[in-house]
């Protein structure tokens, strides 16, 4: 019972809380039991606040017994990526440069809203240092591993969140995505991850990587991510880019016909080299959209790889964030991040501004593309999860300047700021998850979620999860 309860969705838990069949205390204990049993093998958590979580769960249980839940996620076991502020605890960001003795006085906006609506916080999940790369290891917390195969990476930078989610160590998980950091780990661990439209979920303090970085939900189902988005979205004056609040209820917008919808499918975006097993799984997923009635056309969006543009903005942001750090402390950084900072120091102002112009041209091209196509389908990634301790798969080398080359489908849509998600669509021959990416027009988070939910209902891997007994 306890193990299965750890894999209940938020929807199932809330229904159980309401009718009295399940209590928040039972659900929280189930999550904590999973952490106690498996996290020594996975290293998904920076810290676990067992005492605080149980106190929150007991308070939630009392509210539910009175029929007065605090909000939409009252009593749901939740984790926070250790990039975001969480009141009462230090935010370490995977770095020895941060102070463990200075707890945050306030929550980040997304954390604040989850707390206001009753979420039970289990603790904070691991990240590479300052979230700089697409795998999760850091000088501070070491290597985080994939529940499907602990010799493989869970992706990054929200790799702690994805590993925790896939292993039943919590139900709702916050992630951030500056180049794929929600979608990469979602694809590698067989969960759902959404990068909302830029500004949909307010961010504060601002990311060092600027306007490519988004905050989004990571869950085991599309409906649970829609629930999280309903809680986290909306205006916050601390974020200059925050969108005005809307009255959309994303949970109630998951149903809808795809009959006749014009959808584009691109296997490679015109430039990516993709594992044939991934192509086969995504082809099959796209055929399911055709069976749902969608008018799917195979077409590339028509842009060349924007890796150089992304690299200049990303590395420039890293240099700006670290420009006042002395050499002694820079030496404490992940060696790869040190190289990124050095690369960023060599980018000239004209080069940086040229990159911002090219970024704007890409954004305009994609807006025009969506005048014709309501959605774009692609693979989430070009590879399945590779070995831990590596920056990139063997065949792609270890070039810190171009670390994102193996994730060619994710970073373009950070540049354009569009909503995009990864939804599980298959398993490789060696049993590793494969993801389908769904990209929508700017501000059409509802359409992306609706498409993901429609696919999830017919997915051949719906409900698949790792065999955790192999970790013991």
Which CATH number does the domain housing residue 144 bear?
3.90.1300.10
List 157, 176, 213, 380, catalytic entry: 157
Residues of the chain with pLDDT under 70: 1-2, 395-399, 401
Task: Please count the structural domains in the chain.
Answer: 1
Cα–Cα distance list, 291 to 285, 286, 380, 426 (Å): 10, 9, 21, 17
138 catalytic, yes or no? Answer: no
Integer Cα distance of 438 and 453 in angstroms: 11
Q: Are 42 and 34 in contact (CB under 8 A)?
A: no
Angle at 218 between CA 196 and CA 247, to 5 degrees: 45
Integer Cα distance of 16 and 104 in angstroms: 34
List 23, 56, 60, 181, catalytic entry: 181
Q: Are 153 and 388 in contact (CB under 8 A)?
A: yes
CA 1, 33, 76, 128: dihedral to nearest 10 degrees? Answer: -140
Q: Which domain holds residue 332?
A: 2-471
Q: Which residue has the tokens 């060349």?
A: 304
For residue 124, the SS3 value is strand
**How many other C-beta atoms lie within 10 A of the C-beta of residue 198?**
21
List 29, 37, 81, 124, catalytic entry: 81
Integer Cα distance of 14 and 219 in angstroms: 15
DSSP state of 179: S
pLDDT at 1 (0 to 100): 42
pLDDT at 396 (0 to 100): 61
What are the structure tokens assigned to 280, written together? 């086969």
Handedness of CA 304, 308, 312, 315 (dihedral sign): positive
237 catalytic, yes or no? Answer: no
Residue 170 sits at φ, ψ, to 5 deg, of 115, 160
pLDDT at 397 (0 to 100): 58
Cα–Cα distance list, 352 to 86, 313, 336, 362 (Å): 33, 7, 21, 15
Is the entire prediction scored with pTM above 0.95?
Answer: yes
pLDDT at 395 (0 to 100): 59
Q: Which residue has the tokens 């605080």?
A: 52
181 catalytic, yes or no? Answer: yes
Q: Are 287 and 397 in contact (CB under 8 A)?
A: no
For residue 389, the SS3 value is coil
Integer Cα distance of 144 and 128 in angstroms: 9
pLDDT at 403 (0 to 100): 79
Q: How far apart are the first and last CA of the chain?
A: 19
Cα–Cα distance list, 307 to 180, 228, 246, 314, 355 (Å): 13, 31, 33, 10, 10
């Amino acid at each position: 019972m306890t193990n299965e309860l750890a894999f209940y969705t938020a929807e199932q838990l809330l229904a159980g809380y309401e009718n009295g069949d399940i209590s928040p205390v039972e659900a929280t204990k189930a999550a904590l039991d999973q952490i106690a049993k498996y996290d020594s093998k996975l290293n998904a958590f920076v810290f676990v606040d067992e005492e605080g979580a149980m106190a929150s769960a007991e308070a939630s249980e009392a509210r539910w017994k009175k029929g007065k839940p605090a909000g939409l996620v009252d009593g749901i076991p939740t984790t926070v990526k250790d990039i975001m502020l969480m009141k009462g605890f230090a935010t370490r960001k995977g770095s020895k440069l941060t102070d463990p003795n200075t707890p945050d006085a306030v929550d980040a906006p997304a954390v604040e809203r989850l707390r206001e609506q009753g979420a039970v916080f289990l603790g904070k999940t691991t990240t590479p240092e300052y979230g700089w790369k697409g795998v999760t290891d850091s000088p501070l917390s070491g290597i985080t591993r994939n529940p499907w195969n602990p010799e493989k990476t869970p992706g990054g930078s929200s790799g702690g969140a994805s590993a925790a989610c896939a292993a039943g160590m919590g139900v709702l998980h916050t992630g951030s995505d500056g180049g794929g950091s929600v979608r990469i780990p979602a694809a590698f661990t067989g969960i759902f991850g959404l990068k909302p439209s830029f500004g949909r979920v307010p961010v504060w303090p601002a990311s060092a990587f600027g306007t490519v970085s988004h905050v989004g939900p990571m869950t085991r189902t599309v409906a649970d991510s829609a629930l999280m988005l309903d809680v986290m979205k909306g205006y916050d004056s601390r974020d200059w880019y925050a969108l005005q609040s809307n009255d959309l209820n994303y949970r109630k917008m998951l149903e809808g016909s795809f009959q006749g919808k014009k959808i584009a499918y691109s296997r490679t975006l015109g430039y990516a080299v993709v594992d044939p097993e991934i192509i086969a799984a995504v082809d099959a997923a796209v055929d399911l959209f055709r069976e749902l009635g969608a008018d799917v056309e195979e077409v590339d969006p028509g842009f060349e790889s924007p890796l150089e543009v992304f690299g200049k903005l990303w590395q420039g942001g890293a240099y700006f964030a670290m420009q006042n750090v002395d050499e002694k402390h820079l030496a404490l950084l992940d060696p790869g991040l040190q190289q990124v900072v050095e690369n960023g120091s060599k980018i000239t102002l004209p080069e940086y501004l040229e990159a911002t112009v090219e970024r704007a041209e890409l954004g305009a091209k994609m807006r025009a593309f969506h005048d014709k196509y309501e959605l774009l389908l692609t693979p989430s990634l070009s590879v399945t999860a590779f070995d831990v301790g590596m920056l990139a798969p063997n065949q792609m080398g270890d070039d810190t300047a171009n670390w994102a080359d193996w994730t060619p489908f994710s970073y373009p849509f950070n540049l354009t700021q569009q909503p995009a998600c990864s939804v599980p669509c298959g398993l490789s021959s060696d049993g590793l998850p494969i993801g389908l990416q769904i990209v929508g027009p700017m501000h059409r988070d509802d359409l992306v979620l609706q498409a993901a939910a429609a696919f999830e209902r017919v997915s051949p891997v719906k409900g698949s999860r790792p065999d955790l007994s192999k970790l013991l």
